[in-house]
Amino acid sequence: MNRIYLDHNATSPLLPEVARGMSELLESGTAGNPSSLHQDGRSARRILEDARDRVAAVLSVEPAEIFFTSGGTESNNLAICGLVTDHPSVSASATEHPSILEPVKQLHASGRPGHIIPVSASGRVDLDQVPEEGLVSVHWFNNETGISQDLDSIAEKVHQKGGRFHSDGAQGFFRTPVSLRDSAVDAATITAHKAGGPSGVGALWIRKGFLQQPFIHGGPQEKKIRPGTENLLAIHGMGILAETCFKEPAWNRNQLERLRSLFLETLQSSTSHKAVAQDQDDWPGCINLSFEGVHAETLLVRLDMEGISASSGSACSSGAREPSHVLKAMAIPESQIRGSIRISMGPHTTEDQIHKAAKTLGRISEDLRRHSTGAPPVS
């Protein structure tokens, strides 16, 4: 069966260039530890620093400002716990990834002041509720809805009394061009596997001089900010991803917008549903849909049986039965949230796949709704 993969916000398959580059490194027999002083260690160090240079170049920052980690979750925790030390409070938006919300809530529980910033029904942060001091974290693109935030406006508010601003950019970096040097952000979380790079690797960009202390301790790796032997193969793959996206971007926003429109138009003709609205600044490769009278888990199992991979939200929390905290923060009724799924497209998603997936989704949702309510199908 030729499966249709529509879960790129969870993980996007390796781009061919990345897969080739990682295979070449494996076949080369490079086995040194980048911290070793012998020739093999020095060879590994060159590979590591070359990847750092590539990532820094595509983001228009200094290589010394890039710290490699095991992925977005570690980068987010490092940012929250490492940047907050000399600030009176820590706050984050209500629609953040759990790897932001959980450490923030832990700090609140231990006595650190701050609050969870509400969002409007559109999923945008309420600027009036953004603190003017302390550490504030607000994502770039939301992983469940594709909704973007006005980072520069938020940062301007945070900086009014000397606060610092971090953004989780896991769903944006390497997909869309950005210059961090010219942004108002002070620190940003970067990951590879959402854009066609390897899993198990990420980075934290911190504007020079901003990090106070690491939250784990050990050896001298990554300037003691993230101790532990580096994942050389994955970091090499991340470097190739950065260079590939710089020279010939794999993610075509216009194409994703066309696919989104095609999907929604095709689905509209076969079943009733509600989709989270987007504007031109949001990520078009993500579609959040809700089907009244249908349970998302059952719908996803049926889709999987027909060769279509989708999800009900964050891959880090999809095993939980709690309603999506993102959709709850947007004041979406719980009855609607229970039938919500996420479709996320990638560089190699085709119109034929989108048409087939939408038709299949419409047929299955109507079948499930009819069996649960006894209602006739939509004509």
CB 310 within 8 A of CB 343: yes
Distance CA(149)–CA(143), nearest Å, equals 12
Number of residues written out for the chain: 379
Single out the residue of 181, 224, 186 nearest to residue 56, CA to CA.
Answer: 181
Residue given tokens 């550490």 in the structure block: 135
Is residue 316 flagged as an active site residue? yes
**C-alpha dist (Å) from residue 335 to 82, 328, 372:** 39, 11, 14
Residue given tokens 């939980």 in the structure block: 320
Token code pair at residue 134: 């302390």
Distance CA(65)–CA(53), nearest Å, equals 10
Residue given tokens 């994703």 in the structure block: 256
The catalytically annotated residue of 81, 245, 286, 316 is 316
Distance CA(141)–CA(124), nearest Å, equals 11
Report, as residue numbers or ranges, the catalytic residues: 316
